[in-house]
Chain A
Amino acid sequence: MTQSIDRRSFLKLTGQALGAGALYQVGATWGTAPGGRAVLAALGRQNGEAPQPFSFVQLSDTHVGFQGPPDPLGTRAFELAVAQINALPRQPELILVTGDLTHDSDHPGESLARMRRFQAIAGRLRVKQLHCVPGEHDAGLDGGGLYRSVFGPSHYAFEHRGVHFIALDNVSLGQPDVGPEQLAWLRQDLARFALSTPIVVFTHRPLFDLKPEWEWYTGDGDQVMNLLAPFENVTVLYGHIHRNHVLEQGHARHFAARSLIFGFPDPATTGARKPLPFDPAAPFKDLGLRRVDLTRPGPEPVLDVTEVELRMAEYAGTVGSQQLLKGGDLP
């Protein structure tokens, strides 16, 4: 009993003072939790490699190239996030970026310039393992051709310390779909793994009907989740909605990340998908982070979710906002 439940809690999400994004700690409690060592050993026997504790960061929706009333600061939040990740005393091992790296443009050559700009900022990260998926603003107009020429495949999989990571592309078809070709690939990919293998899927749009009339859905997301349903421990990370959201669905948990450009409102409280207005007194207030702590490991694990607003003493208030607009150096 303890064994199966501890498998479910392999992903401990711990928010750090990143200012943006979320830091995930994988299996951090297993070494000390009751039954934890036995679970690791059992998973190692079944999967070939036992998951080992490590952490990673999810960033999302940097929209490089966007500059408008909802965020006149452009890439400042993205740059700040990079600086704060670099300042972490214990560096994460991976960075996952869940789409909309750039904002689309109709001007020839501008989309490529924005992708290069993204790479230049991300290149400042001390962590060099960067794994991206496209958003519709990166890949929706040309079927993902330019994105793939710059960043490589838009769907792929890899292993890291016993965890199987799957990047899914649900934007390149233009419509919110993964598509039959990718579904066939996913079916084949999953067939190689024991059902106890911890799986992290990262993609841009939600794989469930969160708010279809706001295009917050994936048309064939249910087929993706049906393929993942037999697996005991599935975590889906996504972006697109520019706000936090957590959904538990069978063995799977879906986590949305805040953006690094502007927030969207809660669809339950408004009928219009309009970006939240920029607040000069708190320029990054909707770009904060999510902290989730596993406070009670064991048969009935409890996850505490805490929303943490970004606070920067150096740039607090309207004066600080003006300083940022003038291009002041980030701390």
Chain B
Amino acid sequence: MTTRPAFAILALLALGPVARAQEPREIAITARRYAYDPPVVRLKRGERVTLVLTAVDVAHGLMCRPLRLKADLRPGVPVRVPLESREAGTFVAICNHFCGPGHSEMTMTFIVAGDAGVP
């Protein structure tokens, strides 16, 4: 019985590199009137990523129904959002928090490539 914790620790140490390899890629995106930076993000189908979203001036949002993406951003407060696309394609995300006269122009694009790297 007393040897089980030791085995468990050894098993975790052995899995460490694998676990680290599966950590989602982080993608930082800033939102300011009336654009996102970067304006285009490229992903692979099935790739798990974490978006780190920050509004730098006023409140913004980021919404894309096909990607099941929705975030409400307060100025200066980073928001981490997991994202995984199950299908390839080009998806436009919009700011869905009214932010001023240019609000309706504030969009960004996610390009999700297929398995072969071809969108």
Contacts and interface: CB of A to CB of B under 8 A. Distances in A.
A169 interface: no
A71 interface: no
A175 B55 CA distance: 15
A191 B72 CA distance: 32
Interface in A207-247: 209, 212-215
Nearest to B95: A215
Contact of A140 (B72, B92, B94, B98): B98
B104 A106 contact: no
Interface residues of B, number: 17
> How big is chain A's contact interface, by range?
10 to 19
A175 B97 contact: yes
A174 B65 contact: no
B104 A175 contact: no
A124 interface: no
Contact of B65 (A103, A175, A213): A213
Contacts of A212: 63, 65
A286 interface: no
B16 interface: no
A305 B64 CA distance: 33
A136 B94 CA distance: 15
A141 B98 contact: yes
B96 A106 contact: no
Contact of A176 (B59, B96, B101, B104): B96
Contact of B72 (A141, A171, A175, A273): A175
A61 interface: no
A204 B42 CA distance: 35
A104 interface: yes
Nearest to A140: B98
Given A175-B72, A213-B92, A273-B104, A136 B98 contact: yes
A276 B61 CA distance: 26
A209 B65 CA distance: 10
7 contacts: A106-B101, A136-B103, A140-B99, A140-B103, A174-B61, A214-B94, A215-B104
Interface of A: 103-106, 136-137, 140-141, 171, 174-176, 209, 212-215, 273
